[in-house]
A = this chain, B = another copy of it.
Amino acid sequence: MSHQLLIVGTVAFDAIETPFGKTEKILGGAATYIGLAAAQFKKVDAGIVSVVGDDFPQANLDLLTQNGINLDGLEIVKGGKTFFWSGRYHNDMNTRDTLDTQLNVLADFQPKVPAQFQNAEIVMLGNLHPAVQLSVLEQIKNPKLVVLDTMNFWMDTTLNLLKKVIAKVDVITINDEEARQLSGEYSLVKAARVIRNMGPDHVVIKKGEHGALLFHNEEMFFAPALPLEEVFDPTGAGDTFAGGFAGYLANSKDISFENMKNAVIYGSNLASFCVEKFGTERMQNLDKKESKERLKHFKALTQFEINLTK
């Protein structure tokens, strides 16, 4: 109860095409990836607020609960169909086309935060309609930290509402192109400053294979993405990053800037696993020892010894 992390976001079906192959409808959704990443932290009690239809398989529900994720806030709509997204990645794996989006039960979703999660200290608002994110914030009593993830779709379609959410959060995570769109600035340093002025004290700009930048006041921190032999499927990498970030903060109960640096590293570390297989496959049974082992690579990749006192 004491390390609660409330997660809002889609629980979905995805159909994915990459240069390496294509999938049928598989488990996906922002909240799913965030939850599986947060499940890596043993003190974290994570709960998802979301909605699915009754076409959503019991096996998927079991998978989430077996990872310790509380589903009391997951509404199952009788006769409803689960949100579906389908996309095709280009050869560079950095860009993709959306082939199909079926909102289904998401269209009329009214989120209800279970009573036992209304005091959650950390809230992770995964990518979803800003109205849903706002409704969840109104049901939360006194969060220590609210982290928002969003995307260009909401900037294009419902910017004013999105800005209301942005004004209420402590951390926003978005990708580089979205940061440029939201701020009107090309330089990410300038973009982060403009976005901080919209509300959040901390801005995380995700650059995919080029890593992530954390901004706070005039300070910056950078975490690279681990260079991999092969990126198999980038789907969910950004959500996994966000889940690792929020999960680490919930686990350590320390929301200082110094500790957020570590959270960015943990998020990057978990995202490096996510992309190694299709969908959630790699994250479903990720061994905690294995993820800790890979952190050593992040240290070796970035740490150097230059003595500046000489």
Contact = CB atoms under 8 A, between A and B. Distances in A.
Interface string A216-242: 000111101001111100000000000
Contact of A296 (B188, B300, B304, B308): B308
A224 B304 CA distance: 13
A99 B224 CA distance: 35
Contacts of A220: 227, 297, 300-301
A306 B295 contact: yes
A187 B219 contact: no
Nearest to A192: B227
A262 B304 CA distance: 7
Contacts of A231: 187
Interface in A84-99: 91-92
Contacts of A188: 227
A308 B296 CA distance: 7
B190 A229 contact: yes
B189 A306 contact: no
Given A213-B227, A227-B213, A306 B265 contact: yes
Contact of A187 (B186, B229, B304): B229
Contacts of A297: 220
B228 A211 contact: no
Contact of A221 (B229, B296, B304): B304
Given A220-B300, A221-B301, A227-B222, A292 B308 contact: yes
Closest 8 CB pairs of A and B: A210-B210, A261-B304, A222-B224, A222-B301, A189-B227, A302-B302, A189-B229, A262-B306
